Amino acid sequence: MDNHGRVVRLLKEVPPVAGKNIYLTLDLHLQQYIESVLKGQRAAVVVVDPRDGGVLAMVSSPSYDPNPFVKGIGYQAYKSLLENPDRPLINRVTQGLYPPASTVKPYMALSALSAGVITPNTTFFGAPTWTLPGTQRRYRDWLKTGHGMLNVTKAIEESADTFFYQVAFEMGH
């Protein structure tokens, strides 16, 4: 084909082969509910069915109406999307770069328990900050007052950062 969409010559014809079936797993009501909850916020949400890995909802907020792009979006409308400080053209689910944060805590707990580094009854003091031994580097907890004494279950419930800093340190020794 040339740049005008005209066939110049046929190089080879390959007969089509039927592909496999694809099933949509999105839950429309869940998708719409999450969109309504996130309205006016910058956020990304993915809900996965733990039984089979199916994606039930995937929302990037804020979003935009893609329909004007079909027949050619006007300059002003496109410029408005580009200059919007909330960056609606960025799909925060697929393009956002985020630290794993608290999502790793259950895995870290499981690893530490499996390796015998901690037991379900091991307690650490969930202080407002934790200092890496041998350094001056202080790491802060999300809760400015700290959490007090915690076992692993309570640390996951409260998402206690400093508890898991200590667990990570113990795992490395």
pLDDT at 101: 78
Q: Which amino acid does the sequence have at 28?
A: L
Close Cβ partners of 155 (under 8 Å, ≥ 6 residues apart): 105, 109, 124, 126, 147, 163, 164
Mean pLDDT, residues 98-109: 88
Rounded CA gap, 88 and 35, in Å?
A: 13
- Please give the share of the chain, as a percent, with pLDDT higher than 90: 87
CB–CB of 167/112 below 8 Å? yes
- Every domain range in the chain assigned CATH 3.40.710.10: 101-171
Q: Quick one: DSSP state of residue 28?
A: H
Q: How far apart are the first and last CA of the chain?
A: 63
52: exposed, middle or buried (C-beta count within 10 Å: 0-12, 13-18, 19+)? exposed
Dihedral-angle region of residue 146 (phi above 0 means left; psi in -120 to 50 means alpha; beta otherwise):
left
Fold for the domain defined by 101-171: Beta-lactamase (3.40.710)
pLDDT at 121: 97
pTM: 0.58
Rounded CA gap, 54 and 49, in Å?
A: 5
| pLDDT higher than 80, residue 100 | no
Q: What is the pLDDT of residues 128-165, one digit of tens each?
A: 999 999 999 999 999 999 999 999 999 999 999 999 99
Q: Quick one: DSSP state of residue 50?
A: T
**If you write DSSP's letter for every residue of 90-157 in order, what string do you get?**
S-TTTT-----GGGGHHHHHHHHHHHTS--TT--EEE-SEEE-TTS--EEE-SSTT--EEE-HHHHHH
Residues assigned a catalytic role? 102
Mean pLDDT, residues 100-109: 90
CB–CB of 56/30 below 8 Å? yes
Q: What is the pLDDT of residues 53-90, one digit of tens each?
A: 999 999 999 999 999 999 899 999 999 999 999 999 99
